[in-house]
Amino acid sequence: MIDDLRVELACPAKVNLALSFGGPNGEGMHPIASWMVAVDFSDQLTVDRLDGGESRFDLAFAHDAPAPPRGGVDWPLEKDLAYRAHGLMQSHTRGQLPIAVTLRKRIPTGAGLGGGSSDAAGVMVATNKLFDLGLDTATLVRIGRTLGSDVSFAVAALMGKPSAIVTGTGEVLEPCANTADVHLVLIFPGPDAACPTRAVFQTFDRITPDIANKTADETGVRTLAQHPPLPPEGPFNDLTDAACTVQPVLREIKIKIENALHQPVHITGSGSTLYTVAHDDNHAKDLADHVRRQTGLHAVQTRTLPVSS
């Protein structure tokens, strides 16, 4: 819902259906090729325009969040990406943009689903609308990039481009014309399988043969994205072995679910969220139910968001 004083948005999770990296460059950055999609599993954001005074932020996990941390929102507000995104918008416009933010999170934190980045994008899009700033999508994407490539992608997703090929070192975002629905089941292994991103990349550099000469597989990423439908065995992720090395329990869980479902299970981002591809909504529901019965883990059926014409 959008009106002159309030914007309500569903801030979607992102899934890397293909993720490939080259070896680190001179600045320690890894060239990337990825097919990112936004799905209808989301956080709920409400942003109200205030007449003046200090902006307010009410951040909490939703009552139906599938895997909330025991401590709830336990990080400093100043480090939250939604809060920082609002600061960026004020810096860009060189003015005060007082808002009241109510965020109810369902996307687990640190799970490779870009929940914090999506919330940040939502705050940017809402603030732009509420104050009639007139910033176009390209400008919002550019502003969001300073917080990370996932924020840029999430801005584009909220503006109707929920499928993209990401290249360079994450700064090149190319909307993907693939409009075929992808049905997924997201599986959350829990806090014991958390995968710190820095540790995963360090391990990736250590265990990858000839890492200095490795290049990102952009051709493979584009081929997968451009030839629907997506088969269950289609997704790939260069960080899978590294994530499972950092967290051996993640490999055990992945194998257990694959044996239960008799089909491949993949990792999104640097982990720890797992996912598998379904044929349709009914198949996704059956797979999610089976995962819950066999493992006791949280599993959520979801699908990609439609591309705007």
Among 42, 277, 266, 265, CA closest to 182: 277
Architecture of domain 183-303: 2-Layer Sandwich (3.30)
Residue 95 has pLDDT above 90, yes or no: yes
- Residue 1: what pLDDT? 63
Is 14 among the catalytic positions?
yes
Among 143, 156, 140, CA closest to 305: 156
* Domain 6-166 in CATH 3.30.420.40: no
- Residue 5: what pLDDT? 93
- Residue 24: what pLDDT? 94
- Residue 106: what pLDDT? 97
Is 150 among the catalytic positions?
yes
- Residue 86: what pLDDT? 98
DSSP 31: P
d(CA 221, CA 211): 19
SS3 308: coil
Rounded average pLDDT over 76-90: 97
d(CA 252, CA 272): 12
Residue 280 has pLDDT above 90, yes or no: yes
What are the backbone angles phi and psi of residue 176, rounded to the nearest 5°? -100, 135
Residue boundaries of the structural domains of the chain: 6-166, 183-303
Rounded average pLDDT over 70-86: 93
CB 255 within 8 A of CB 59: no
- Residue 26: what pLDDT? 87
CB 8 within 8 A of CB 45: yes
Among the listed residues 80, 150, 217, 238, the single catalytic one is 150
Rounded average pLDDT over 194-219: 96
190 pLDDT band, cuts 50/70/90, is confident
Residues written for the chain: 309
Average pLDDT value over all residues in the chain: 95
How far is it between the farthest Cα atoms of the chain? 58
Rounded average pLDDT over 63-91: 93
